Amino acid sequence: EAGVTQFPSHSVIEKGQTVTLRCDPISGHDNLYWYRRVMGKEIKFLLHFVKESKQDESGMPNNRFLAERTGGTYSTLKVQPAELEDSGVYFCASSQGRVGGAFFGQGTRLTVV
């Protein structure tokens, strides 16, 4: 069974540009989560989807971040326009039940220069 897949694995963009991260969850997992780790700090929750609905987006930093999950399958996280402080590793996770059973993807390392 395929795990959680994230694309791209690395992205380097200039400040002010737009970047879109993609996450393909494990098939059949209704719950999808986005997390972010800024260099050396804790992994922080961004938002949670159940199927195509946003259940909790309390962790989204600001309105430059937009997450979608059309059709309840894969999800995208768009940052527009990107700022220097957006640099970090963005993790996606999926689960069938409670978040404690979530499987994480390998992450997308975003560098804004």
Partner 1 sequence: DQQVKQNSPSLSVQEGRISILNCDYTNSMFDYFLWYKKYPAEGPTFLISISSIKDKNEDGRFTVFLNKSAKHLSLHIVPSQPGDSAVYFCAASEAGANNLFFGTGTRLTVIP
Q: What is the DSSP letter of 3?
A: -
Q: Which residues contact 35 (CB under 8 A, 6 or more apart)?
A: 43, 44, 45, 46, 90, 91, 92, 93, 104
Q: Which is nearer to partner 1, 17 or 111 (CB)?
A: 111
**Binding residues for partner 1 restricted to 74-93, rule: CB under 8 A:** 91, 93
From candidates 44, 64, 72, 78, binder to partner 1 by CB under 8 A: 44
**Is the Cβ of residue 14 or residue 34 nearer to partner 1 in the bound state?**
34
Instruction: Determine the Cα–Cα distance for residues 66 and 50; give it in Å rounded to an integer.
Output: 16
| Choice from 31, 67, 88, 112 touching partner 1 (CB under 8 A) | 31
Burial class (CB in 10 A: 0-12, 13-18, 19+), 84: exposed
101 binds partner 1 per the rule CB under 8 A:
yes
Q: Which residues bind partner 1 (CB under 8 A)?
A: 4, 6, 9, 31, 33, 35, 40-45, 48, 55-56, 58-59, 91, 93, 98-107
